[in-house]
Amino acid sequence: MTDELLNHPGAPTGDVRPTASYTLRVNGVERPVTDAWIGESLLYVLRERLGLAGAKDGCEQGECGACSIQVDGQLVNGCLVPAALAADSEIGTVEGLAGAGGAGGVQQALADSGAVQCGYCAPGLAMAVHDLLQRNHRPGEVEARQALCGNLCRCTGYRGALAAVQAVADAREAALEAELAAAEQAPKAAPAAEPAPAEQAAELPLYADSELWHEADQLIPAQPQGETPRTGGYAYPPTPPHGTPVPPDWQREPAAATDPFGTAVHQDAGAYDGTVYATEGHGPDGYAADGYGTPYTGYDATPAHGIRLPEDENA
């Protein structure tokens, strides 16, 4: 019991029989309970306030099992559980075992096996059998007796109840086997259609030097070359085919050079200004200053990034 329940506006303060309002969730349905004495049992509230009379009042002291219900999946005697404490729980009663056409499988098995004589213990027995088969799909004789030992039948119909347990277990096992057999005989699902080549290429990772780049080229729309301005004020240059020699006049005399790619400025480093970038100097005799008599070529070191290679190294 929470203070919230005890102190609701309708609860008279100082009353020796405080009341509370709460909602019970019974068989998946929200059932509000208003101004109920907090000492009322769940069995009483179900029967007298909510009209669910399936659970029977046999002893009101937890001896007979006629009031058996499930609270959060646990089989309990409804006569021993204060209803207000079950406000946040899932409650299952014998009414929830009914099938679409009336009696559920367990109830029908009890009837078929002759377990129902006067019928007063039958709802509690049905809940006990249902709870047992939820926990154990194939209970043995001893397990079934242990599970039902809390349900007293004044008409002494226990053999029928035990037979009903085995009948329901057999029926469910047969239904499962039939379902599995049907699933095995069902035609296999057709294999998924092969994705189109374009879809395959789109799903595969692309790596530099991979031939997939060439396939990907077919998937990427052509970009306007030399026309699309970028934020930096220059445009994408068209990419020349591999092996295309760079015109020597464009390298040596950029001011008068003919732009071989149709782009005025297309390198972050700017146009080549003819400067020789070398890390090793050269002597006046035409040899590199490496001490090995290497003829000086003018480009005896790796130029910085963005610097055009000379013609002889680019060929």
| Conformational region of residue 74, where left means phi above 0, alpha means psi within -120 to 50, and beta covers everything else | beta
Task: Using CB under 6 A, pick the residue from 75, 121, 148, 235 that binds ligand FES.
Answer: 121
82 binds ligand FES (CB under 6 A): no
Stretch of 85-93, 113-121, 129-137, 279-287 lying at the interface with ligand FES (CB under 6 A): 113-121
121 versus 133: smaller Cβ distance to ligand FES = 121
SS3 assignment for 156-172:
CCHHHHHHHHHHHHHHH
Query: Nearest-CA neighbor of 93 among 52, 58, 134?
Result: 52
CA distance 8 to 30: 19
Q: How far is the CB of 126 from ligand FES (least distance, A)?
A: 11
Task: Using CB under 6 A, pick the residue from 70, 77, 107, 251 that binds ligand FES.
Answer: 77
19 versus 41: smaller Cβ distance to ligand FES = 41
CA distance 86 to 255: 91
Q: How far is the CB of 153 from ligand FES (least distance, A)?
A: 3
Task: Using CB under 6 A, pick the residue from 33, 36, 67, 127 that binds ligand FES.
Answer: 67
DSSP secondary-structure letter at 34? E
Q: How far is the CB of 9 from ligand FES (least distance, A)?
A: 33
Q: How far is the CB of 132 from ligand FES (least distance, A)?
A: 17
Say how many residues touch ligand FES, by CB under 6 A: 22
119 binds ligand FES (CB under 6 A): yes
Half-sphere exposure of 135 (CA within 13 A, CB side): 14
Query: Nearest-CA neighbor of 92 among 35, 28, 19, 175?
Result: 28
18 versus 92: smaller Cβ distance to ligand FES = 92
Instruction: Report the site for ligand FES in 45-64 (rule: CB under 6 A).
Output: 57-60, 62-64
C-alpha distances out from residue 266 to 10, 17, 221, 238, 260, Å: 82, 90, 21, 10, 11
83 versus 235: smaller Cβ distance to ligand FES = 83
Query: Nearest-CA neighbor of 301 among 277, 285, 273, 284?
Result: 277
Q: How far is the CB of 149 from ligand FES (least distance, A)?
A: 13
154 binds ligand FES (CB under 6 A): yes
C-alpha distances out from residue 308 to 14, 111, 254, 313, Å: 96, 97, 11, 10
Tokens of 151: 């349900």
Residues that bind ligand FES (CB under 6 A): 57-60, 62-67, 77, 79, 116-121, 153-155, 157
